[in-house]
Amino acid sequence: MIYLNAFLLPAFTCMIGQVILDNTKLTAGHITSIFTVFGAILSFFGIYPILIEKAGAGATILISNFGHMLFIGGMQGYNEQGFLGIFAGLLSKSSLAITSAVIIAFVFSILFKPKN
């Protein structure tokens, strides 16, 4: 059942994103930001860890997981170092995702030429 959930959660998320993109004037960047904030909100209410438990990798590959990681890192930093630890925690949990995105984008920009 986890395999089905791992497929359905990202499919449903993509469907929501496509409906928003088709029916509003929001750009892909706006929608990405909305999903990231929504992931942090779900994490705040304790819902995102349940999604990860139910959908496994299907919940961890979404952009909303980035918001979840930021929230978890910020809370962990706050618990360890106080208010200023929030900022250190944000980067400690999400640094792997940010670094991977930059490196992969760089490699793809070398391999593929953009259209005019």
In a domain, 28, yes or no: yes
**What is the span of the domain harbouring residue 52?**
2-111
pLDDT single digits (tens) 20-30: 999 999 999 99
- pTM for the predicted model, two decimal places: 0.81
Residue 116 confidence (pLDDT): 64
d(CA 7, CA 26): 26
The residue assigned the tokens 């961890």 is: 60
Average pLDDT, the chain: 90
pLDDT single digits (tens) 5-22: 999 999 999 999 999 999
Residue 87 confidence (pLDDT): 86
In a domain, 6, yes or no: yes
The residue assigned the tokens 């929030």 is: 86
In a domain, 116, yes or no: no
Overall domain count for the chain = 1
In a domain, 21, yes or no: yes
In a domain, 24, yes or no: yes
